[in-house]
Structure 1
Amino acid sequence: MSMREWLQRRQIAIYAASVALAVGFGVGLPSAAPLFERVITPVLAVLLYVTFLEIPFTKFRRAFTNARFMAAALGMNFLVVPAVVYALTRFLPQEPAILVGAFMVLLTPCIDYVIAFTDLAGGNAEQVTAATPALLLVQFLLLPVYLWLFMGARVADVIRAGPFIEAFLLLIALPLTLAWLTEVWADGSDTGRRLQDAMGWLPVPMMGATLLVVIASQLPRVEDSIGRIAAVVPVYVVFLIIMPLLGRLAAGLFRMNVGEARAFVFTSVTRNSLVVLPLALALPDGYRLVPAVVVTQTLVELVGMVVLTRAVPLWLLSNDPTSLSAPYA
């Protein structure tokens, strides 16, 4: 068994260990929080670089031409999800920081570990990877619009173009460009090919490192507000239940094959908590709870992924393609 396979099979345990270690730092050594916070962006950039590097760009381009999948993914994430999120957040305390955090994370589809979880569930990882640039670009454009629609004038002083542009350049454009250049190098050089192969085992450790620095940096800031933050947990749980079912239904309507359908379900449910975190950290002091609300979604979602990576292939979308015509069979 290769190192990459060993890590992929144990990734849930690695993530759990990272979370436990982060809590240990946050509680036992809170003075280290500023150090962890300073390395969030570079750690995220490396995570996205090794994530994009996993899929060959020739296949990436072919997958991008799947207009049906792209249309379904965009429609689900930017038409259906906002309606679901707005309805669910009516049950939250109408506190601006809580609402902004919940909206920021739930309105932004995941573009990193969704690939790994799709692969674990036997879905088409290449297809979901191909959709990530479009999903990310559209979410950066629409998130301020949805925040304004859902919260009105309360967010007029919160949304700034600078942090959004900086996050896009550092966390998407740069990693994506470097991944493409690495693959071009690998196509014409043995050294480049060896480097690309060596990078194959990094996504899981980098995801663990990301969880560590994110949680350890935020926990000391919100210890006195755990009760307020906990109010979002039921909403996150219900979202994890509703969206796979809606994704399953939509996949049937779009007549996707099983691999596409599983990928579609995961891109419908997983959220972009780790990438929007730098945006949350850039908010004014009155919104200091927002990063913690965002990180809480990560913790809830990881537990949900343990369930979904098993439930999707075994129950929601079995290996029998005819199951797509019978949602509750």
Structure 2
Amino acid sequence: MESPRRRMTARALRDWLESGQIAIYFGAGLIALMLFVTFLQVSLAELGQAFARLRFLAALLAVNFIAVPLLVAVLIPFAPDDALIRLGVLLVLLCPCIDYVVTFAHLGRADARLLLASTPALLIVQMLLLPLYLHVFLGADALRLVQAGPFLHAFLWLIIILLAFAIMVQFRTKRSVIGQRVSAMLGLLPIPTTALVLFIVIAAVFRSSVPRPTMRCV
């Protein structure tokens, strides 16, 4: 039988999604734009080069999907004993924003272009392994808080279709000067859109953490 605490957690999650659905839709559209302009920067030659560098790709996948989950397994017991909070912690730790990783790699003078070319593989493996990791760390709460439908929907529309559309746009823009100019302009958007997404996330967290004033009748 489901405990009252779990019913309250599920109800709180549903109320939060319903009250913030406009912001969620706007954020999803902005994230789609961010991913599209990021995929647009990945040329087919660089994508092939990334998959040909087997040692680099193996090290990248091992760190992200073996070392990091082991670290999360050590840290997650120290998180609050609330399934919803732990879900948020797991999403942040297991699915870090790859755009930020590429930016930090560029600032650290690493091979940011090769890392950028590997982003489709990282995103695909993230979406495939995340349900498994959530089930391991949350148990039965994972099935209650997270459904497979939204994951499959996001995987299809935010990764597969956007990546295919970006590749198609690359083919089209190479055939005309105007297309190349448009592609160059879109190439300026990854950093601003990433910064805007980060700003919206921080603003949403700040807004939810500020106590609302109460009215008193005299």
TM-score by length of structure 2 reads: 0.79
Equivalent position of 1:139 in the other structure = 126
Aligned-partner Cα distance in 2 for 1:90–1:78: 19
Task: Report 1:202-217 matches (<5 A).
Answer: 202-217=189-204
Question: Amino acid of the residue matched to residue 216 of structure 1?
Answer: A
Q: CA deviation at 1:119?
A: 1.7
Q: Is the 8 A contact 1:39 1:213 kept in 2?
A: no
Equivalent position of 1:161 in the other structure = 148
Q: Is the 8 A contact 2:68 2:94 kept in 1?
A: yes
Equivalent position of 2:78 in the other structure = 91
Equivalent position of 1:77 in the other structure = 64
Aligned-partner Cα distance in 1 for 2:35–2:58: 24
Q: Is the 8 A contact 1:186 1:196 kept in 2?
A: yes
Structure 2 residue ranges without an equivalent (≥5) = 1-18, 212-218
Aligned-partner Cα distance in 1 for 2:177–2:166: 16
Aligned-partner Cα distance in 2 for 1:213–1:34: 14
1:53 and 2:1 matched: no
Q: CA deviation at 1:109?
A: 4.2
Match of 1:197 among 160, 165, 184: 184
Give the 3-state SS of the residue equivalent to 2:144 in structure 1: coil
Q: Is the 8 A contact 1:187 1:193 kept in 2?
A: yes
Aligned-partner Cα distance in 2 for 1:104–1:50: 23
Equivalent position of 1:122 in the other structure = 109
Q: CA deviation at 1:150?
A: 1.6
Question: Amino acid of the residue matched to residue 98 of structure 2?
Answer: I
Q: Name which one, 1 or 2, has greater alpha-carbon Rg.
A: 2
Equivalent position of 1:113 in the other structure = 100
Greater Cα shift, 32-41 or 188-197: 32-41
Equivalent position of 1:311 in the other structure = none
Q: Is the 8 A contact 1:37 1:217 kept in 2?
A: no
Structure 1 residue ranges without an equivalent (≥5) = 1-31, 225-329
Aligned-partner Cα distance in 2 for 1:214–1:112: 15
Deviation digits for residues 183-237 of structure 1, max 9, x if unmatched? 111222111111111112211221122123333345434445xxxxxxxxxxxxx
RMSD over aligned CA atoms reads 2.1
Q: Is the 8 A contact 1:36 1:216 kept in 2?
A: no
1:101 and 2:100 matched: no
Aligned-partner Cα distance in 2 for 1:57–1:49: 15
Q: Is the 8 A contact 1:109 1:136 kept in 2?
A: no
Give the 3-state SS of the residue equivalent to 1:112 in structure 2: helix
Q: Is the 8 A contact 2:84 2:145 kept in 1?
A: no
Residues 33 and 107 (structure 1 numbering): CA distance in 2 closer, same or farther, change over 3 Å? Answer: closer
TM-score by length of structure 1 reads: 0.54
Q: How many residues align?
A: 193
Equivalent position of 1:320 in the other structure = none
Aligned-partner Cα distance in 1 for 2:141–2:36: 35
Deviation digits for residues 250-275 of structure 1, max 9, x if unmatched? xxxxxxxxxxxxxxxxxxxxxxxxxx
Question: Amino acid of the residue matched to residue 142 of structure 2?
Answer: V
Greater Cα shift, 172-181 or 157-166: 172-181
Equivalent position of 1:152 in the other structure = 139
Equivalent position of 1:42 in the other structure = 29
Aligned-partner Cα distance in 2 for 1:222–1:155: 25
Question: Amino acid of the residue matched to residue 136 of structure 2?
Answer: L
Aligned-partner Cα distance in 2 for 1:103–1:63: 28
Aligned identity (percent) is: 38
